Structure 1
Amino acid sequence: MKKNLLIIFALLLFKIATIHGQANNLNTDAKQKLNNLNQQYFIENKGQWPNEVLYLTQMSGLNTWITRKGIQLEFYKKEINNENVSKIDDCSKLEIIDCKFIGQRVNYDLVNCNSIVVAKGEMRQSAHKNFLIGNDQNKYATNVAIYGQVIVKDIYDGIDIRYYFENNFLKYDFIVHPWADANQIQINIVGSDKTYLNTKGELVLSTLFGEIQNANLYCYQQEDRRKVEGNFTNKSGNWSFDLETYDKSQTLIIDPLIYATYIGGSHYDEAYSIAVDASNNVYVSGFTYSSNFDITAGAFQTSRAGDWDIFVSKLNAGGTDLIYSTYIGGSGSDFAVSSAVDANNDLYITGYTSSTNYITTAGAFQTINNGGVDGFITKLNASGTALIYSTYIGGNNGDYSRAIAIDTSNNAYITGNTNSNNFVTSIGAFQNVYNGLEDIFVCKLNEAGNTLIYSTYIGSFNNEYGQSIALDNAGNAYITGWAHFGFITTPGAFQSTIGGGSDAIVVKLNSLGTALIYSTFIGGSGADAGFDIALDSSNNAYITGDTESSNFIVSPTAFQNNHEGSWTDAFVTKINALGNAIIYSTYLGGSGDDTSYSISVDSNENAYITGRTESTNFDITAGAFQTTKAAGRDVFASKLNATGSALLYSSYIGGNNNDVGLSLALDSSANAYLTGLTWSTDLYTSTGAFQTGNAGTRDLFVFKLDMIPNLSIIENFKNNLFSVFPNPSYGVYQIVFENTNMLALELEVYDITGKLVLNKQVSNKNDFYIDISKEASGMYLLKVKTNQAQQITRLIKL
């Protein structure tokens, strides 16, 4: 196993404030989209600025220009310059003649860097900008893209630089690739009043506007997580890095881990759900037996009331502190298993309780426990100090709410299973009668929590379980879980009959709760279960869970075609919006037992999955956070491309005992947040983490991962099948094959997100060209494969 070294040089500027848009012509919708992005984005240069500029990011009082040879920091402020003007503290309300502008520019010039570089904007945002400045329309730029991060390739030979935002700070990292010499990096800082190293070893720049502190270098080897010491040093007036000796023959990659922390008390603590708000604060919920679980001052409930109580903890964007943490519960046992956060940062949780005094609010839909175990829906305010509403939901027997989703009007949709024959249903509901041993239920509760908009059973004479729910923009609800013989399916469904003892199911219920749009089994001859469901923008449904079936449906280009586990493998299945066809379906697992519990989908239709694995040969990608299984059961975190044909990223996460991943959420930049259970006492935690050790028998964990594929490692896999000329190019490349007699030769080109943009069967191997000139500038992967070998090479399109 190769060792990997991470070199990060992080420039911390200022917390993001309001962006200045004087040069932009934006309509109301566009402005709203930009505001929703929290001003953390990079604007491409589409000709509106000089050619030296690659991207610009703006903050209050600071423009940061990313150029072909470094960074230019442009500080400014406006002051009133006319004593006759009445006291106004906003220069924008005055004439220019009444104001004076104060500014300072500081350049980070990269000495002897490459003159030709390729910049790639990543994580494109939904909004855009238009620049219509002056009378010269040749200088106008429209539909200018904005991105969540920027990578400038080969700023030095074998070294890239990445610009991004983290915890409301602007940062940049140097990424040192195999055999590259980190000593190439030299920075000439021009324009600061003073540049020096402080007592902490941080590089400090003094300006008229205050000091800029550049964080210490953070370096370590990937395989064993061994830290490699590194410091800033000044050589001949330029700033560079002094690193301890390391094996330069090994692969150098950037660390995907952003933060990791334990949360828990001295007893049992279990996290079953995670949610992320627009500011990247993280909400973790579950249940705890610990009487000393971390609770914040002013929290809604500061002490445990029963055996098991619910906890809700809101962790800040850096993973370093709790914004709030509270118990919720009565004198019995209370279990929260699913959550969702709305635009106001109010949190909705659902689960089930045996407490007859579970806290309900005045006017709630149901204020008493109707059976031994009832479901509940509780809405907690943004500060964690009060309940907005809280209600039971249930009948005369056991009712178990398993999942919740929120629409744009803050109506709550829940699903689960019930064996109550008087579970409340609405007039005109799809199914008003309890049919069997366990039936699925689906309910829609209004924003105030006092009225059911609809409620219905879904079930037969047998057992059925609703495990997860997702919503489309029309208010249709998609449910997955599992069912047995007799479950209702719709005409034309992908799989109308059960394949084995139990199968996974996908049900699409209309927005009124009155009819099934589609209902289908998914499964083979063994036991199959769906644990989570997610939707993309086209309303394709992604289902994950586990299967014992050796004949579970897989697609022709599936990443994994065969069941490999001793008992269960995980699976990921993508079904179309009509429910009548599989877009892709694949196993995911090794020789041990593997189960996937949670799935999320990004804007590029990549699927992110987490669960638990006992396999020592679970598929792990090069450069992953953890490449070998630690002990017992480990968490896995995997990213599957849009076609289900390849893993873009896959990693173990685990320590010296059992660890299980139970929930995964994505932020707007497609960072993955994971939570679950850990018995391990040595699970990795990041510097400054809120809690660095396991405080009890079983704690929960929160990991934030950047699951970007490590293209430098992918590129190193070569079998000398071909060469490419020219590279970089403007989109047309000549492929020169080393052996023109090779059989069964296929060529594929993927963009950096894993999307297939070109696919060809190669017949004329003597004079072959490919053309991707219509694609956006940036980096692509060219894969050529035969029946004996394959080669992957990076293409740069100018």
Structure 2
Amino acid sequence: MKKIYFLFMLLVGLSATAQDGWVYTAFNPTLSTASNYRIAKDYATDDLYVAYNAGGGTYSIKRINASTGAVVGSFTIPANFTSPPSTMLVQSDGKLVVYGSFISYNGDSTYKRIIRFNTNGSIDTTFNQSGSTFQSNIFTCKTMVENGSKLVLGGTSNSGNILYQINKSNGSMDTTFNSNASSITELTGNPSINAIKVYGGNIIIGGHFNVYGTGGFPTPGTICKLNSSGTLVSGFFLNGYGGTVTDLDVQQSTGKIVFCGTNAITNATTVVQLNSNGNVDTTFTSPSITGSSSFINPTAGTIQIQQNTGKVLFAGEFTTVNGVSRNDIARVTTTGAIDLTFDPGAGSNVNVIEILLDSSNNLYVRGPFTSFGPYTRSQLVKISTSVMGRPALGVDVPEISNSKISVFPNPSQGIFNLQMDGYEGETFELTVYNTLGQTIIEKTLTGENNYQIDLTGQNTGNYFVKLANNNTVINKIIVKK
């Protein structure tokens, strides 16, 4: 009971004082140094699929562990994509759908543009009906979602539709939907669908277009809400915004839509929130975003809603939000005010292309960066957006006593001895955090089983020790008196 009470009071205190945006140091995938990552989340396991440059003009996909970034060996495919996948989606049944500009896979031209893999990496041969249409229309997929028994794909094309729906069972075209979604046009350049989300069975699309469908219906603001058949939902009309939508998300409890993009009149980068009927939500003030203009590029604007709080995360290439320094990634509250409890520090050293929340509200950040804050990270990093998602906090903290790991004396006036029996020859990453989630010590432990943790220069109080490698994660609580 004492331990449960202690952890409960600890969590209450952290919820009130801790700051989010720090890097999970144990997560450090090292698949490639080339900037060709694509990511997809398996929400059943929280593992990630990562497409990467395998060298020699080939590309491959690995499944990586959500905690460490280590490759999960149960999913294996050869490095036989001759061009990088542009979009990936993990279906609810765990199968992985991959779209790209490839016209064959592993030398087999049966698989053009789109392919589906089983959970072990083998090709799902039942899914192979739509690739020829995508190839002939030179369709480039930028976004893909699952909607019941269908998959919806959006992107750009030189000579055909930019929005498709296919049957999930075998990949065949849904001809009724595709007919309704034809003739999407734009007055100022080529049209594109940059983002798709599903809400209540309806399909919400955003991009760069001003006419949807054969009826020539004008759609100011380039966001539409569609029925599952591809027809427009009556009563939804975005008024008061025109431009390009680079990404969008939907608050599942309210139906509110938040998007990032470029205002057509001012050419300014913007984040806007809509009510479920498409009207601009006047309770949300669009934040002022300054810095690099690269954020307006459709490949460098990404946004996510934290469903449990309604707070909005967005990223790209910028330096300030509402006058507060934020390098490439920021969070605002439900009113659009900068959220000072989320601070990623120096952030990316280049820019951010994609952000993706997992089921615990941890945030995966993808981009061409080589460092994030003080840490060397190649293109992919995991950061905290929720105090309850921090390592070594909550019910997952193991007992202090452990037959293999011991820390003594504990409490101590500053010097703690760490003994790791049974782990001789193994390498561990040691991280020590204070109760604000700040990293106090970070080092690599190699080969030995006795180490020393020196907190003599730190304040008295509780500290959290995390030991992690590809096979093990161990958490300890130590007390400096």
TM-score (norm 1): 0.41
Q: Is the contact made by 2:260 and 2:272 (CA closer than 8 Å) also made in structure 1?
A: yes
Where do residues 750-761 of structure 1 align in structure 2 (5 Å cutoff)? Answer: none
Name the counterpart of 1:638: 330
Counterpart CA distance in 2 for 1:407 and 1:497 is 23
Within 5 Å, give how 1:309-708 maps onto structure 2. Answer: 309-323=58-72, 324=75, 326=77, 329-331=80-82, 334-350=83-99, 352-353=100-101, 355-358=102-105, 367=110, 376-387=113-124, 389-390=127-128, 391-392=130-131, 393-394=133-134, 396-409=136-149, 411-420=150-159, 423=160, 440-452=162-174, 454-455=177-178, 456-460=181-185, 462=187, 463-474=190-201, 476-483=202-209, 504-517=221-234, 518=236, 520=238, 523=241, 528-537=243-252, 538-547=254-263, 549-550=265-266, 568-569=268-269, 571-583=270-282, 584-593=284-293, 595=295, 597-615=301-319, 617-618=320-321, 636-647=328-339, 648-654=341-347, 658-678=349-369, 680=370, 684-685=374-375, 699-708=378-387
**8 Å contact kept, 2:318–2:326:** no
Q: Is the 8 A contact 1:416 1:465 kept in 2?
A: yes
The partner residue of 1:270 within 31, 36, 59 is 36
* SS at 1:382 equivalent: coil
Q: Are the equivalent residues in 2 in contact too, given 1:612–1:659 (CA < 8 A)? A: no
Give the partner amino acid of 1:590.
T
SS at match of 2:290: coil
Once the two structures are superposed, the pairs formed by residues 170-319 of structure 1 within 5 Å of their partners are: 256-259=22-25, 260-265=27-32, 268-285=34-51, 288=53, 290-291=54-55, 307=57, 309-319=58-68
Which position in structure 2 is the counterpart of 1:136?
none
Structure 1: tracts of 5 or more residues without a match: 1-52, 54-63, 72-118, 121-149, 154-159, 163-174, 178-251, 292-303, 370-375, 424-438, 499-503, 551-566, 622-626, 630-635, 686-691, 694-698, 710-798
Post-superposition offset of 1:673:
1.7
Counterpart amino acid of 1:317? A
The alpha carbon displacement at 1:585 in A equals 5.0
Matched residue pairs, number?
A: 369
Contact 1:661 1:675 survives alignment (8 Å):
yes
One-letter amino acid of the counterpart of residue 598, structure 1: T
Query: Aligned partners of 1:339 and 1:637: how far apart in 2?
Result: 23
The structure carrying a bigger strand percent of its residues is 1
- CA separation of 1:447 and 1:599: change in aligned 2, threshold 3 A: farther
Equivalence map 1:18-57=2 (5 Å):
none
Q: Render the CA deviation track for 1:605-654: whole Å, top value 9, x for unaligned.
A: 52443433243x44587xxxxx775xxxxxx2322222323425243554
Distance in 1 (CA, whole Å) between partners of 2:21 and 2:81 is 43
User: Which residue in 1 is equivalent to 2:11?
Assistant: 151
What SS does the corresponding residue of 1:674 show, helix, strand or coil? strand
Distance 2:182 2:35 in 1: 32
Q: Distance in 2 between matches of 1:578 and 1:506?
A: 11
**Larger of the two Rg values belongs to structure:** 1
Q: Equivalents in 2 of 1:659, 1:325: separation in Å?
A: 31
Q: In the superposition, relative to structure 1, how do residues 573 and 316 fare at CA in structure 2: closer, same or farther (>3 Å)?
A: same
Structure 2: segments with no counterpart, 5+ residues = 389-481
Amino acid at match of 2:302: S
Shift of 1:543: 1.2
For residues 330 and 253 of structure 1, the distance between their equivalents in structure 2, rounded to whole angstroms, comes to: 41
Q: Is the 8 A contact 2:285 2:337 kept in 1?
A: no
**Aligned equivalents of 2:20 and 2:251: distance in 1?**
29
Which amino acid in the other structure matches residue 509 of structure 1? L
- When you count helix as a share of all residues, which structure comes out higher? 2
What percent identity do the matched residue pairs reach? 15
Q: 1:452 to 1:397 in 2, by over 3 A?
A: closer
Contact 2:240 2:280 in 1 (8 A): no
| Residue 535 to residue 479, structure 1, CA distance change in 2 (3 Å) | same
3-state DSSP of counterpart to 2:24: strand
One-letter identity of the residue aligned with 2:115: T
2-side partners of 1:574 and 1:253: how far apart? 25
SS of structure 2 residue aligned to 1:343: coil
Q: Counterparts of 1:471 and 1:488 in 2: how far apart (Å)?
A: 19
Q: Supply the distance in 2 between the matched residues of 1:489 and 1:519 (Cα, whole angstroms).
A: 18
Call closer, same or farther: CA 1:396–1:338 in 2, change over 3 Å.
closer
Could you tell me how far 1:269 is from its partner in structure 2? 2.9
1:339 is aligned with what amino acid? M
SS, match of residue 257 in structure 1: coil
- Displacement of 1:513 in angstroms is 1.8
Residue 250 of structure 2 aligns with an amino acid whose one-letter code is L
Are the aligned partners of 1:505 and 1:521 in contact in 2 as well (CA < 8 Å)? no
Distance of 2:334 and 2:42 partners within structure 1: 23
Output the CA distance in 2 between the equivalents of 1:620 and 1:381: 48
The 1:708–1:483 alpha-carbon spacing in structure 2 relative to 1, beyond 3 Å, is farther
Residues 460-497 of structure 1: CA distance to partner in whole angstroms, max 9, x if unpaired?
374321111111232x211111125x667999x9xx67
Letter of the 1:640 counterpart? V
CA-atom RMSD, angstroms?
3.9
- 2:11 partner SS: strand
Distance 1:490 1:673, change over 3 A: farther
* 1:586 CA displacement: 0.8
Give the match's secondary structure for 2:37: strand
1:682/1:508 CA distance change after superposition, 3 Å: closer
| Partner amino acid, structure 1, of 2:383 | K
Deviation string, structure 1 residues 38-79 (Cα, Å, up to 9, x no partner) = xxxxxxxxxxxxxxx6xxxxxxxxxx9622xx36xxxxxxxx
The answer to whether the Cα contact below 8 Å between 2:249 and 2:257 also exists between their aligned partners in 1 is yes
Q: 1:254 to 1:446 in 2, by over 3 A?
A: closer
Q: TM-score, normalised on structure 2?
A: 0.64
Cα distance in 2 for residues equivalent to 1:368 and 1:325: 18
Distance 1:545 1:383, change over 3 A: farther
Residue type at the aligned position of 1:256: W
Relative to 1, partners in 2 of residues 1:443 and 1:702: Cα closer, same or farther, differing over 3 Å?
Answer: same
Distance 1:489 1:642, change over 3 A: farther
